[in-house]
Structure 1
């Protein structure tokens, strides 16, 4: 076999509109053309493989390079993700799921949050077997082979050929290798032709999202293998005998065989290819001493996609969770912001003289609809030509466009780009912006907050260049015990594993560099640190050239013989039969029967949003509890709420919630810990029954826990419209019951959910109860359900914060209505109105986050976020000019205070605990928790007056005021508390 030239590579990127290709010689990267020998752009064909073959043939012919000299062919394609987004029944297969989780996760089954149509296509079967790990790496239960064999029998009967195995904490399972053992059993029972996906190979911590990603991956495996086979056949026809690679979401390579097993790795490779191609073409930051972050703006005909390249040369990743076709996953994806601005964006002159650009566009009709091409629609391209900034089409056709319109339209485009670039930046410091894409001509050459704007050569094929120059990566995401060694030593060990992983994948050993290292201490878990290391290196062509390249001899294409129209009919039938309508929010009425409020799916969804707002950035995201309750209601279970007036004075009201680490919650999901703790407490106290349930706190996930406990699935008891905080607080003793009397927290029962429980019976103060139970919690898997000494109806009325379930519902409804009616800018005002008006609640600040500091200590998240007022040019709505300066919000799990620093340096305390300080995402009106804080987010901060339970006594302020958090300042009320109106009272008969 003739060795290829190690530097000659072909890159192809398949987009929705065009397929681009380049032939590049990296040995010539220092030349003016950056080593680009040939490039080609053509419309994407329905049969993607045909388009790829045509594009590769074109650059080979243009360059006159012998195919034998090509070292590699790398393809970036959206082919696989499109099959899912389009719900293409021809290309998606049903999937069977075996979950390794003997005691946990049953309340949140596989496919629980899939869109109905996609679930109907993909959900073939799911079941649970013994297995799973604790957060410290110990086994919850060992695997039981007979249980796996029983599941295989069901899968075989159903004819399922694509199987997912997902285990609790499988990404940290290096010793027991439960998923691998289970895979061997499945293959033995079902045969080697069955596709088995282990979740730890797909994504990181977060069971539901990792499993979702694994299901998507499994569903397209058959199609992916057929597609890769077609790519190889095309290579044979082109006489290419080099290795075939696909680009991954993070900008690194994956070999064709691995891509056929893990196609999800390629889902979002297009934007990443553009970003890395832009950086290569510009030559920015190539020397280690010149490493710099940069924003890449890819402007097409309809949208501008914006991403941030870190100094490592790799894109900034999206937040912990992203959605693909409505499915929530945690697979590594680049953080991309898209706006409706492109070359075909429609320009309008309004009656008041204002000029708007987009978000609608003429799209691919640009060359016929735009004025410079003889059309009648004024577009962004027309404005650019009229301004003399580009030579496209016939400039004489836009001479009639008024100069004022051109100026205003250019200003509008400039502001749109400046806003989205600022959102992507990681600090206020100016950064370079790289422009790529065919529509990049509409961008101005100067942008605020930008050090320089660069449109590199060959910018219109930057995506194909990014594919050609992609590196080989290696990532390790693990939880390590650091009790007997330093964190630095542990990081080094993990880094070595990542380096070896990259080398095994084809990286040249001497070229591998560390791209990213994260160390994240785990809350409430001693000596456990999550470590994420990502490395990358150059492709070792000399090593790969020695390997025989096998190309399938068949001439298959990736097209399907199934009739396309018939498939679309089937898809439409799925959608029609399973879709649900939200209906008119403003006319929605809760279901009040007698004196009880029977919750619906809509109620629960609104409650979840409202509880997260009342969490004051803490309390945990209520998403898992929401899913659990939603499915209970769908199954016919009743979830009821009553107000405190329905309670007799001697009524027995049980209360509790979760205690422990959120890091455990993301793996163990919704189990029965709280229900079991309640049963243990009732047994200890010899109580055979109780009258109602109530929440420990309304803020965060615990706001929904009493609804689960009281549902007809479990105790079938109504839930009192009240709680013992009126918000979220970080400790068990920061409850209103402790304001009035000591000793009410015991007896208290905690349960791990897997058979371990304890009851604490005596304590000499309330603080030690929290301290002792948290210590036990750490030994019981770092997450437990908690149930405390029941209250009487009379004590609920005199001690609890009343009507908080109603308040959370009203907040959630306000958010839903704002999103439904496109009035998100007014959502803060709507929440303030629900709280009782401006005498009770206030809009404290509107701005953008410009700084976040965070650390963990003894299980709590400490830090602060800094929010800067928007400049006049950044304002998107009227009424924001009243805010100036910077707002500082320290937090300990929850927000503690809001201190304003004015431009002249003067400081003003706007709000402190126990008043509620809530940070809302200005883009959707929903709450942001501490884990969600990041630079550039537009936020609205509101303050809500606390219940008099906290403010009317010295003891209340001692437990819940500023000094409880170490701030030696006096509490000044934000406003006058107004008790929320009961939903039952308003909507009852």
Structure 2
């Protein structure tokens, strides 16, 4: 009697919108010629995915002649859950209530405030605000109260909502109080029928983005449970496979099916990830283990080519912190994938004007087998031309019937090949992390579009491995288990590495909890980011990965739920061109060019939502890396406008000399700003000042135009009883680390210029300085108190006069921000982001005032905290074709200080320095990148803008705001000639 074979084989299935792909893999035979792949299958996706999965696995077992008892695992990748959101299907989305543990904070920014209106109406049902939340240092904002939670649960019950999200301020860092967990237990006690999602289990730091992800996760929970249950029954009951079932996650790892049913959002972007991991597996024999390095994967499908970077760790490079799904911002882990309109079904045509050949971006998609010429159709597709190219080269592709192709296809084959080559070379260049050539893997059913002998610029080698058409299913079969920790830790008395090591152990333990064999776990990603204004604190992010422990599989899955009829969850016909774009209302280039801001006869600029969006974008660019993102304040102001608030801006030239001008801004760490959304602290500080002064102000001016403080003047003005206007100017013309680096100190002398000055933390703590020797002394006193007040406060500076404002302010900086934001919006709408630097330069005064200092990719970032400020340096390497050579080094202290160009021979030249503005912008979007967001591999452009003459006209201005103020032994040399920004009010006034 033969020995019983062990269960060692793995099945991977990837359910796409067009095809369901499957492989049967022997992990102990991967060194053989077939890479351990015993069988593969590709079939059209069925309307009920579980039936398609069942049919696919049945075919695999039949082809390989394998008994079900030999299957060790089944891993499924699916787009089913993200499609429910993209398609805004009310049948698959549940209404959600949110309970925020926030104390007095965040009440002006309700859940879903920045969502497309139609999706918000479907999902967002209720929000309750209760005590709770933590400060960044772990101190409690307010203790949670069971009676408050009970009252909110009763209200949610009355509304018939059965999905509840619990979101606490700084909950991902809450390792001791466990506020979210305790509130979740109370909800279960009073409302056991409800689904409860804790935000910390879904995403990381970033209150709005984490809450958005948790809400979407909660909304698809019932649908996900039904779907995953149908997968389980198809595999366990009907196929009789006694093995664990997994779903693939966005980061290239797996989660057991019963756990994935609790966090289906983690599967949203697993398709491209599966393809990348599968592609690497197919070519790993090409490289020795010691030569692990990054690879570029081009997955060519029916409509698009998705390109991503596979790191030496074996995991995909992750995208920037924020991900957009159907107009909703989230911060869960997603692969950094860029797509172009090149696929097997891409429509090929001759341009009527230029007579040149174009490929895509429109496609016949999964209708290719009826519409392409080689299949008897009449639409010229990329597949048709690929067949023609192959035959022209004496080769053949076993696709359709080549005899159906007109002669013109053969005549145009060389031009088609060149167009496809250029499209791929362009996306490869955008995705590389340095100028060196890189191995490129072509996978997917559309890989046939590229000739086997094709040479691509930027690619050291082009590989089209065997089984590339089912690389996505292979990636699912081989995926590993992960554990991730993103938290804020104390570094007091320890090195940064010791802090990372402690968090790394937590990540390893979490991977083991998720099913990994401890001995196989290794660290895949590690990062430590010191926090501004907070002594001995760093944000540490660690990811660990390991092999699943099949020895303990029997104890993992709970009993299967009763099988449900899922015919109602069939995949509907959809237009790929519209995926993810519903509800996004972007202006066309013509609308942007024709837009005219409203300036009334009284010379008041009445700010619209459009104006506000452009000003917000411009503020972050003018922040020169600092100031924090304006986004939370932008969302809050936009909501105020929608509810009838009037935001007014006036020119400083129109102020009366005896006018009383208020000023306010935030102090503290930008990391606090992304978690602890504002309460009433800004107006609390303002009210305190004007109670002391004895009268209300006539206008308000921003402390700095750069970053989040650039919008605070508008917020203060609209929030006062008198609705006072905001002055088109500020005290910096940029962002600086400390509040005494302002033009009133340059021109008014060392004495304290703004008395009284007040700070408030929004939680009942107010600090007043009625007299002081200097503005620097005020700053020092407030900085000492800052850490004890949550590392973020609002500051109200005592009023000054209209006469001093006209003399000291950097003028028309809101107008400048508006013009910069408008330039970015126009380039984005025209898909001309390569030109955004030139357009921004024109907006700020032209080449005499500003210029592009550098283009390239971030190749290293160093950070350390000194006296509450983050000091560091970012290094940017030039890329081929960008017109620059060598590298650029930019040291920063919260904001960028110098821009030094280093040539290949090692010679260095300082090309810009403070007080001139040095802004680093994302080449892919045109948006600013703050110093906390600097990250290896991001393509950037560096723009230099000449500082206002309020800084450069006197030696004192250079002393306070120049390189020496930051300890740099560099002589300030103006970048160009300052041009006063053109006033929007002067240009568009109707008077």
In structure 2, distance between residues paired with 1:541 and 1:797? 73
**Residue 711, structure 1, aligned to residue 711, structure 2:** no
In structure 2, distance between residues paired with 1:562 and 1:412? 38
* Residues 919, 943 of structure 2: 8 Å contact kept: yes
In structure 2, distance between residues paired with 1:546 and 1:126? 38
Which consecutive unaligned segments of at least 5 residues does structure 1 have?
876-880
In structure 1, distance between residues paired with 2:835 and 2:521? 50
How many angstroms does 1:250 deviate by?
Answer: 1.4
Find 2:686's aligned residue among 638, 654, 678.
678
SS of residue paired to 1:810: helix
Residue 23 of structure 1: aligned partner = 24
Find 1:781's aligned residue among 786, 790, 805.
790
1:761-840 matched pairs, under 5 angstroms: 761-839=770-848
Tell me which moved more, 698-707 or 531-540.
Answer: 531-540
In structure 2, distance between residues paired with 1:488 and 1:823? 42
In structure 2, distance between residues paired with 1:504 and 1:285? 34
* Residues 616, 821 of structure 2: 8 Å contact kept: yes
1:257-276 matched pairs, under 5 angstroms: 257-276=258-277
Residues 911 and 501 of structure 1: CA distance in aligned 2, closer, same or farther (over 3 Å)? closer
* Residues 628, 673 of structure 2: 8 Å contact kept: no
Residue 721 of structure 1: aligned partner = 728
Residue 51 of structure 1: aligned partner = 52
1:551-570 CA-to-partner distances (Å, cap 9, x unmatched) read 4453x3433289989x99xx
1:305-364 CA-to-partner distances (Å, cap 9, x unmatched) read 111222221111111111111100011111111122223334455565755443333433
* Residues 299, 440 of structure 1: 8 Å contact kept: yes
How many angstroms does 1:126 deviate by?
Answer: 0.6
Residues 61 and 107 of structure 1: CA distance in aligned 2, closer, same or farther (over 3 Å)? same
* Residues 389, 414 of structure 2: 8 Å contact kept: no
Residue 611 of structure 2: aligned partner = 603
Residue 594 of structure 2: aligned partner = 587
How many angstroms does 1:712 deviate by?
Answer: 4.0
In structure 1, distance between residues paired with 2:810 and 2:612? 20
Residue 419 of structure 2: aligned partner = 412
* Residues 851, 945 of structure 2: 8 Å contact kept: no
How many angstroms does 1:227 deviate by?
Answer: 0.9
Residue 363 of structure 2: aligned partner = 361
SS of residue paired to 1:257: helix
In structure 2, distance between residues paired with 1:548 and 1:910? 61
* Residues 254, 482 of structure 2: 8 Å contact kept: yes
**Residue 700, structure 1, aligned to residue 694, structure 2:** no
In structure 1, distance between residues paired with 2:314 and 2:958? 50
Residue 667 of structure 2: aligned partner = 659
Find 1:422's aligned residue among 429, 442, 445.
429
In structure 2, distance between residues paired with 1:504 and 1:529? 25
In structure 2, distance between residues paired with 1:607 and 1:392? 56
In the alignment of these two chains, the number of paired residues is 971
* Residues 485, 507 of structure 2: 8 Å contact kept: yes
In structure 2, distance between residues paired with 1:290 and 1:977? 52
Residue 878 of structure 1: aligned partner = none
1:782-802 CA-to-partner distances (Å, cap 9, x unmatched) read 111112232110000111111
In structure 1, distance between residues paired with 2:973 and 2:312? 45
Residue 219 of structure 2: aligned partner = 219
* Residues 845, 869 of structure 1: 8 Å contact kept: no
Tell me which moved more, 799-808 or 86-95.
Answer: 799-808
In structure 2, distance between residues paired with 1:564 and 1:513? 41
In structure 1, distance between residues paired with 2:486 and 2:259? 19
**Residue 649, structure 1, aligned to residue 657, structure 2:** yes
Tell me which moved more, 777-786 or 936-945.
Answer: 936-945
1:277-310 CA-to-partner distances (Å, cap 9, x unmatched) read 1222222588753432222221112211111222
How many angstroms does 1:781 deviate by?
Answer: 0.6
In structure 2, distance between residues paired with 1:426 and 1:39? 34
Residues 477 and 714 of structure 1: CA distance in aligned 2, closer, same or farther (over 3 Å)? farther
* Residues 258, 558 of structure 2: 8 Å contact kept: no
Residues 337 and 228 of structure 1: CA distance in aligned 2, closer, same or farther (over 3 Å)? same
SS of residue paired to 1:215: helix
How many angstroms does 1:75 deviate by?
Answer: 0.9
In structure 2, distance between residues paired with 1:886 and 1:407? 38
Residue 198 of structure 2: aligned partner = 198
In structure 1, distance between residues paired with 2:786 and 2:394? 69
How many angstroms does 1:10 deviate by?
Answer: 1.3
How many angstroms does 1:7 deviate by?
Answer: 1.4
* Residues 324, 330 of structure 2: 8 Å contact kept: yes
1:166-223 CA-to-partner distances (Å, cap 9, x unmatched) read 0001111122111111112112212x22101111111111111111000000000111
Find 2:474's aligned residue among 462, 465, 469.
465
Residue 510 of structure 2: aligned partner = 501
**Residue 300, structure 1, aligned to residue 305, structure 2:** no
1:721-740 matched pairs, under 5 angstroms: 721-740=728-747
How many angstroms does 1:903 deviate by?
Answer: 6.6
Find 2:544's aligned residue among 523, 535, 541.
535
How many angstroms does 1:658 deviate by?
Answer: 0.8
Tell me which moved more, 40-49 or 20-29.
Answer: 20-29
SS of residue paired to 2:334: coil
* Residues 319, 333 of structure 2: 8 Å contact kept: yes
* Residues 247, 470 of structure 1: 8 Å contact kept: yes
In structure 2, distance between residues paired with 1:73 and 1:25? 12
SS of residue paired to 2:260: helix
1:802-881 matched pairs, under 5 angstroms: 802-839=811-848, 841-845=849-853, 847-858=855-866, 859-868=868-877, 871=880, 874=881
1:327-406 matched pairs, under 5 angstroms: 327-348=328-349, 355-373=357-375, 375=378, 377=380, 379=382, 381-382=386-387, 384-385=389-390, 386-387=392-393, 391-393=397-399, 394=401, 400=407, 405-406=412-413
How many angstroms does 1:957 deviate by?
Answer: 0.9
SS of residue paired to 2:261: helix
Find 1:669's aligned residue among 653, 670, 677.
677
* Residues 12, 76 of structure 1: 8 Å contact kept: yes
In structure 2, distance between residues paired with 1:71 and 1:268? 25
Tell me which moved more, 949-958 or 726-735.
Answer: 726-735
In structure 2, distance between residues paired with 1:3 and 1:103? 65
Q: Normalized against structure 1, the TM-score is what?
A: 0.92
* Residues 3, 545 of structure 1: 8 Å contact kept: no
RMSD: 3.0
In structure 2, distance between residues paired with 1:388 and 1:705? 68
Residue 484 of structure 2: aligned partner = 475
In structure 1, distance between residues paired with 2:289 and 2:5? 29
* Residues 857, 879 of structure 2: 8 Å contact kept: no
In structure 2, distance between residues paired with 1:16 and 1:916? 47
